[in-house]
Chains A and B, each alone.
Chain A
Amino acid sequence: MLSITLTGLKLKNPLMLAAGIMGTTGGSLKRVAESGAGAVVTKSIGLEPKSGHSNPSMVEVDCGYLNAMGLPNPSYKNFQEEIDTAKEGDVPVIASIFGGCSLDFSEIASALRADAFELNVSCPHAHGYGSEIGTDQALVEDITRAVKDAVKVPVWVKLTPNVTDIKSIGLAAEHGGADAVVAINTIRGMAIDIESGYPILGNKFGGLSGRAIKPVAIKCVYDLYETLDIPVIGVGGISDWRDAVEFIMAGAQAVEIGSAVGNNINIFNDISSGMEAFLEEKEWTLDDIYGVAHEV
């Protein structure tokens, strides 16, 4: 009862692994697929191998996490075998990719076989990448179009909330031909060790994820749903089935789950069964609740 078709991909449920979470190795993606996810998104993959920022690269804060991984990845040149292993999990594998310009993006996308691409134009702590380009409408449109031209599979664009107006960036993606947008990536944040005065993260600042950011993500999804014709995929702070339902009501056709996987790798199964029980009790379908917050 939870199956959906998302930008042409058939998913047994609308719950996907978010980019950057256990997503660097085929084995870990496969494990998550086998733990009940409807689809899995890989770590964002770039042109060259990258070791990321120095540690500490992640720290728990009140109700969430700050991370500044710095996009560590083995480069697309070493990544097809990981995707192929991930495919053994028998769910769609979406390749998240990043670059500094549209040429980077299309080079990477043309070289990888995946069920869809998610363009990371939203990582808040990688200099020259991520949200440094995802705040610029023209660049986002340009990059989206370049990847659309390069591949035949669906292209999703992942947006940053660190902008004055996320709707305009969503529209740029839509104009560029995106099949869906994904919202949100992490929110710029920082924590300082009061014993020493040091910023805790090796990169000094990073991105906030986890339960703290859910209300912000819900608002972004709600606004994008009102503005765009293409589907919105929600992500940010989902930790139980209620959160997933809330996102779908806000207008997300599907959701991605990140931080909460750390403490519960079985979260996809848990959320599926929770959602099913809820829908059954209410005698609702997934379609009944999709975007319902806009209709009441």
Chain B
Amino acid sequence: MDKIISKEEVSSIFKDGMTIMAGGFMGVGTPQGLVSAMLEAEVKDITLIVNDTAFIESGVGPLISNGRVKKVIASHIGTNPETGRQMIAGELDVELVPQGTLAERVRAGGSGLGGVLTPTGVGTVVEEGKEKITVDGREFLLEKPLRAEVALLKAYKADKAGNLIYHRSARNFNPLMALAADLVIVQVEQVVEIGEIDPDEVMTPGILVDKIFVQGGCC
């Protein structure tokens, strides 16, 4: 059950047309090495589920700039002008989702729920095409679960069982995406032996993590 994987092995995982989730908030907490491995895989028509498309040359931005992405589901695309340009040019399909709703949809996908009943977006364009459910006289949008074939996470530290600890504001979407994909790959700064992480301090249990890529090589 060795979970540690090389960059070449990461690259070989990606296929055209895949749906990929990646952690990060404006690039902070984005696994840059995994994004780079994905770029090297030369895949296309990717559907990308991310909080934002970061910047042209960092975060998940290079996947957009290099034309690998067919559709983005995100809460914010404003810091990467290439996302906006491709969207207006009709090259890229963009689904904008309020950030809290995006988090809930990923959670629903990872935790077996049928959807989310949120007040966010009621009375705005966000409600278009969505079912509205009234509970005790108040309207909520039914927002559907999101899942991916692969989730790309960034953590600070892992043990060899895949138990993860995140660092500061680099945590963001990573812990929730760990539940919502068929294959979960994490990029970490360091790997320690099993038993070296206090079970009370684990932020994502190792059973959710399939592969560990160590930044700058391992062990």
Q: Do A and B come from one complex?
A: no
